[in-house]
Structure 1
């Protein structure tokens, strides 16, 4: 059973039985994450050989939606999500425990400090920058 913090909800992603924890006051994923995942997995005309994707990194992973979708769309052996914000990282970790995806891992780190974490090499790197309201 997933433990929720105030304001959080559990959503089904539509990809297998994968669920994600979201907080509408902070961030909820949208179609952009789904489209980016389709592109990164080679489904939408990207010059990526889907069968050669072994290691994937998602920088600024938020609640982990892109690694979760890519775990469904690819046969990657390892998918790393990197998230700086502790609250988003915690949601990703709790959802990962519920989804039981052994190929996915999350780390709580600033992407500018990744060189010191020795995270390895990746075939595909994704990033879906956050949106900010103007004004």
Structure 2
């Protein structure tokens, strides 16, 4: 079922000391994501056809290991999210880590995080912009 969803972004945790160098490479400043209590920045990657999300290791992310953290999938509507949740639970494929909440970033919609067997951490973004149109 996951293979039928559009991949929205890959989340990567960075050390706060790397922030100035990464802002220079991105050509923009990170913004405060009040939902996660940390600074984030998104960049569209045309080669992969999805966003890269850089997450500063602070706030909710303070204890996250550095490097790849999660994959985010775009979910079209509540019906698709309900079907996805049922699929994850029925086969004990995954469990919810956070309840749905509005993202602190304009690039995403209502988000929830899940731990999925064989995948790892996954985020689902319901109702947010998809593709390059979500680029800030």
For this structure pair, what is the TM-score category when the shorter chain's length is used for normalisation?
Answer: under 0.3
More strand by proportion, 1 or 2?
Answer: 2
TM-score, scaled relative to structure 2: 0.27
More helix by proportion, 1 or 2?
Answer: 1
